[in-house]
Amino acid sequence: MEISEIPSLFGQLSGFDVSDIEPINRGRNSQVFKIKSGLSGEYVLKLYSHDPSDTRDRVGVEYKGLTFLWNQGIKCIPKPIAVNYDLKVAIYEFINGYYFEPSSICAGDIDEALDFLISVRETQVHEDALLIPWASEACFSVSDLLNNINIRLKNLEMSSASGPELDALRYYLKEEFKPFLNLVTQSYESTVINSWLMLRHLPPCEEFVLSPSDFGFHNAIKRGGETVFVDFEYFGWDDPAKTLSDFLLHPAMQLASSNRERFAKRFLLEFNNTGDLNGRFKVFYPFYGLKWCLILLNEFMPSNLEKRRLVGALSGEKADMLTVQLLKSKDMLDRVKREYEHFPY
């Protein structure tokens, strides 16, 4: 959408005028604008991407999820203001603060993130929580997770992109990624025979949690003395083993090992309702690491590259960006290998 169309759209949804518009190019899947509205205040207008191949209801999940949490008394999130589901657009309060630098994250921030997840869990007793869908790509078994990994892998191997960057990608997948994936898979299959992991496809229902899914300080803003958590496009019911694994592995945060250990230790104490979480987390963790290796390669898919361009998240030369993403994937794979040999949690 052209920026000249924003004032009319904002007015239709909110009833407020527009005095200034500023694009915010942090989103990778949406167009985001900061709106100043005279004396009414500052807002965020978010235009959600629409990809026919992606059936996820991003606007519905985020707006309804934030509305549910806000109504349950959780205020360290953006207040939902207005929405048009047909147009895939929503308005939220603008959070006036600053984004975290990885080096600035301290033990207090880690505890604040955990306190937030605990407060979200406490909302699960409300009857409306049953209306919330599964989180995006929620997985409750290794077979589900392996299926997700293999689909991503197949799509990358069949990419219609061309050039030396694609040759480097295919070599990496064949010679480095797939051998380790096979090693981890074979190890899992040989050790779980007759174990609870083979007998149980899902964790116990009482262990499901509501999760932002894409949770971490990459989606957080420091406002005064509090942290405000943003971006709930993937919000829903999930396995806490995934919530924990993704928080520890997310490449955008680059958490210090002491902070990762602090988060993992307290998370396992707080969320291990049935006694199964520790074992499931240890088994699932390397598979989630391998999934992250492939997520980092999303830009090798032409459709994803075009989506990044449309929302203003693409900068520099395409070839340079693909090379950088491949290096990030290799770094992640090296980390997953180290932690597979010497599990740190």
Give the residue extent of every domain in the chain. 3-93, 99-341
Whether residue 1 is predicted with pLDDT greater than 80 in this model: the reply is: no
pTM listed for this prediction: 0.90
Mean pLDDT of 111-137: 96
Residue 105 has pLDDT above 80, yes or no: yes
Q: How is 26-68 classified by DSSP, letter by letter? A: T-SSEEEEEEE-TTS-EEEEEEE---TT----HHHHHHHHHHH
Please name the CATH architecture into which domain 99-341 falls: Alpha-Beta Complex (3.90)
Q: Determine the Cα–Cα distance for residues 126 and 211; give it in Å rounded to an integer.
A: 15
Statement: residue 140 has pLDDT above 90: no
Q: Give kind and range of the element (H or E) at residue 229.
A: strand 226-229
Characterize 209-219 residue by residue with b for buried, 16 or more Cβ atoms within 10 angstroms of its Cβ, and e for exposed. bbbbbbbbbbb
Q: Exposed, middle or buried: residue 193 (CB in 10 Å: 0-12, 13-18, 19+)?
A: exposed
Model confidence band, residue 78 (pLDDT cutoffs 50, 70, 90):
very high
CATH 3.40.50.880 fits 3-93, yes or no: no
The predicted-structure confidence for 175-205, as pLDDT tens digits, reads as follows 999 999 999 999 888 776 545 454 455 666 7
Q: Is residue 306 predicted with pLDDT exceeding 80?
A: no
State percent of the chain over pLDDT 90. Answer: 73
Q: What is the pLDDT of residue 291?
A: 98
Q: What is the mean pLDDT of residues 67-87?
A: 97
206-217 per-position pLDDT tens digit: 789 999 999 999
Q: Compute and round to an integer the Cα radius of gyration of the chain.
A: 21
- The pLDDT, as a whole number, for residue 311 is 46
For position 194, what pLDDT does the model report?
A: 45
- Residue 178: CB atoms within 10 Å: 14
Mean pLDDT (the chain, rounded): 90
What is the reported pLDDT for 199?
Answer: 43
